[in-house]
Amino acid sequence: MEWKKEWKPLLIIVAVFFSIYYLPVESGRFRISVMESLYLAKWYAREHVILCLLPAFFIAGAIAVFVSQASVMKYLGARAHKALAYGVASVSGTILAVCSCTVLPLFAGIYKMGAGIGPATAFLYSGPAINVLAIILTARILGIELGLARAVGAVLFGIVIGLLMHVIFRSEELEKANEQITMPEPEVSRPLWQNVLYFASMVGILVFANWGKPGNSVGLWYSIYSLKWLVTGLLTLAFSVMLVFWFGIKWWKIVFAGIPTIIAVVLFPHKPLLPFAVGVICLSIITSTDKGETGEWFASSWGFAMQILPLLFFGVLIAGALLGRPGHEGLIPSVWVSRAVGGNSLLANFFASFAGAFMYFATLTEVPILQGLISNGMGKGPALALLLAGPALSLPNMLVIRSVMGTKKTAVFVILVIVMATISGVIYGNIIQS
C-alpha cells in the first residue's frame, strides 16, 4: 500500500471519528443549534425554493440558451463599454427583490456566458443589496438617514467592487477579451424585442410572486401586494402565449400544463404556493420532453439547480446551527453579537461586517433583525456595515460563488465586501455622531 496516496483519506476519517466521539450531545445549546439548523432549512425550503429559486433557475437557463453570447459580451463582457456595463450591473437590484442566494443562478448564467468579472460581480453584489423594497423599508423603520446611506452605499459598492475585481484579475480579463475578439457573430433566431418581453415576463413573475406584505394595510405597496397573484397570473398567461408563438411549444402542451394549475387554484385559493408549484412542475415536464431549444432550456436550468441547490442547503444548515433563525439562537449567543457591535469603533464595524457576511438574510428580513440589534445597543455605523455586507453575502452564497468562479476570486470578493462595509460603517458612524 502506498501511504503517500492514503494519508489524506486517513486524516479525514480520523477527523470525522474524533468529531463524532467528542460530539457534545449532552449540551442543551448544541441540541438547540441542531434544531435551529433544521428549522432554518425547513423555513428556507418553504419560503424561498419554489417562489424564488425555481423561477431564478429557469431565468438562468434561459440566459444560457436564448441570449447570445455576443449580446452578453457586448453589454457586460470584458471588452464592453465600462460605463454601460457597470451602470447596468450596479442598478439591476432595484427591480430584482432577491436575496443573496436567489441571485446566484442569474450571476452564474451571465458569468458563464462571457460577462467580465467586474460587471458580473457588480451584479452579484447589487442584486440583493439595493432592491427598492428593502431600501424603502430601511428608511421607514430605521430612519431616512440609514435608508439613504444604504441606497448610495450599495450602488457605489457595486461599481467599486466590480472595478477592483477587474483590476485585480486584469490579466485574466485581457485573455478573455482577446478570446472574445475571435468569436463569430451568432445567428439570431428571433427579434430582440421578443426576447426582451420573454425575459420581462419571467422577471415579473419572480418579482410579483415574492412581493412581501407591507406593515401598513394602506398605500401603494399594499395595493400592489393585494394584486400580486392576479398580476403573476396575467404574466404567466402572457408567458405561455410567447412559448407557443415564439418558441414553438405545441398549444396542447400549454393546455396540459394549464389545466392542473387552474384546478389547484380553484381547490386551494388561499394556498397560492401549491398552484405555483404545480405550474413549475408542468413547465418542467413540457420543456424536458422537447427536443428543440426549449429542451436545451430545461437542461441548462437543471444543470444550474444541480450545481447550486446542494451547496445552498448545506450552507443554510451550517448557518442555522451557528446563528439560528431570526429571533432565535444557535451555538453563538446573540448577546455576544450585541456586545460586539456597540459604539462605532473599527472593531465593532469589522465584526458587524464579518458576522453579516456569514449570516443568511432573506429579502427584507435584515431590517427587523437590525431593529432588534439597534434597540440592544448596536451603533449606527455597524448597522450600516451589516446592511452593506449582510444581504449581499452569506455562507451558502459563498459556497456557490466558489463553485462558479473559483476559490481565489471568491475570497477576494468576500474580503472586498467586508473591508468596504467596515470602512463605510466607520465613516457613517462618525458623520452621524458629529
The domain limits of the chain are 30-190+290-433
Residues 6+ apart with CB under 8 A from 357: 389, 390, 393, 394, 414, 417, 418, 421
Rounded to whole angstroms, how far apart are CA atoms 193 and 227? 27
Q: How many residues are recorded in the chain?
A: 434
Rounded to whole angstroms, how far apart are CA atoms 354 and 116? 27
Can you give the pLDDT at residue 362?
A: 62
Can you give the pLDDT at residue 34?
A: 87
Rounded to whole angstroms, how far apart are CA atoms 288 and 290? 6
**Could you tell me the CA-to-CA distances from 130 to 351, 362, 434 in Å, in that order?**
22, 13, 27
Q: Which residue in 145, 155, 135, 151 sits closest to 381, CA to CA?
A: 145
Q: How far out from the chain centre does Cα 264 lie?
A: 29
pLDDT in tens, 238-257: 999 999 998 888 889 899 88
User: What is the grid cell recorded at 275?
Assistant: 398552484
Can you give the pLDDT at residue 134?
A: 67
Ranges of residues in the chain whose predicted pLDDT is under 70: 1-5, 67-82, 84, 88-102, 129-134, 136-137, 140-141, 176-189, 311, 326-327, 337-338, 361-365, 367-369, 371-372, 375-377, 434
Beta carbons of 60 and 72 less than 8 angstroms apart: no
Rounded to whole angstroms, how far apart are CA atoms 278 and 263? 10
User: What is the grid cell recorded at 307?
Assistant: 450545481
Can you give the pLDDT at residue 93?
A: 56
Can you give the pLDDT at residue 224?
A: 84
Identity of residue 152:
V
DSSP label at residue 36: H
**Could you tell me the CA-to-CA distances from 10 to 5, 16, 17, 127 in Å, in that order?**
10, 10, 10, 42
Can you give the pLDDT at residue 326?
A: 65
Helix (H), strand (E) at residue 132: helix 132-142
User: What is the grid cell recorded at 202?
Assistant: 419571467
pTM: 0.68
Phi and psi at 378, nearest 5°, equal -70, 135
Rounded to whole angstroms, how far apart are CA atoms 419 and 427? 13
Can you give the pLDDT at residue 269?
A: 86
Helix (H, G, I), strand (E, B) or coil at 115: strand
Residue 115, beta-bridge partner list: 77
Identity of residue 271:
K
Beta carbons of 97 and 133 less than 8 angstroms apart: yes
pLDDT in tens, 233-242: 999 999 999 9
> Which regions of 129-272 does DSSP assign to beta strands (E)?
none
Number of Cβ atoms within 10 Å of the Cβ of 287: 25
Phi and psi at 75, nearest 5°, equal -100, -30
